Amino acid sequence: MRGGSLLIGVVLLAGLAGCGAPEPPRLGTPGQKVTVVRGERTYPMTAEILGWEVRPHPQVPERGPAVNYRYRFSGTAPEVRVELLACAIDANRVVILCAGIHHPGIDDQWFGPAEGFDLTRTTAVVVFPDQLHTSSNPADPKDFDGYYPPRRLGPGDRL
d(CA 83, CA 73): 11
Residue 112: closest CA among 139, 87, 90:
87
Average pLDDT for residues 122-147, to the nearest whole number?
79
| First-to-last C-alpha distance (Å) of the chain | 53
What pLDDT is attached to residue 104? 79
Residue 14: per-residue pLDDT: 42
Say if pTM beats, i.e. exceeds, 0.85.
Answer: no
Element (H, E) at 6: helix 2-16
What pLDDT is stored for residue 7 in this prediction?
43
How far apart CA 53 and CA 69 sit, in angstroms, is 7
* 103 pLDDT tier (thresholds 50, 70, 90): confident
- What's the sign of the alpha-carbon dihedral 69, 159, 78, 44? positive
Measured distance CA(45)–CA(32) in Å, rounded: 14
Q: Distance (Å, rounded) from C-alpha 124 to C-alpha 129?
A: 16
Looking at every residue in the chain, the average pLDDT score rounds to: 84
Name the residue type at position 21. Answer: A
Q: What local confidence, expressed as pLDDT, does residue 20 receive?
A: 59
**What pairing do the DSSP bridges indicate for beta strands 95-102 and 41-56?**
unpaired
Res 139: pLDDT:
65
Instruction: Summarize the confidence of residues 3-24 as an average pLDDT.
Output: 51
Contact 71, 51 (CB under 8 A): no
More confident residue, 38 or 92: 92
Q: Could you read off the pLDDT of 55-80 as tens digits, one per residue?
A: 999 999 999 999 999 999 999 877 66
Which is higher by pLDDT, 121 or 9?
121
Q: How far apart are CA 57 and CA 80, in angstroms?
A: 31
pLDDT number for residue 147: 78
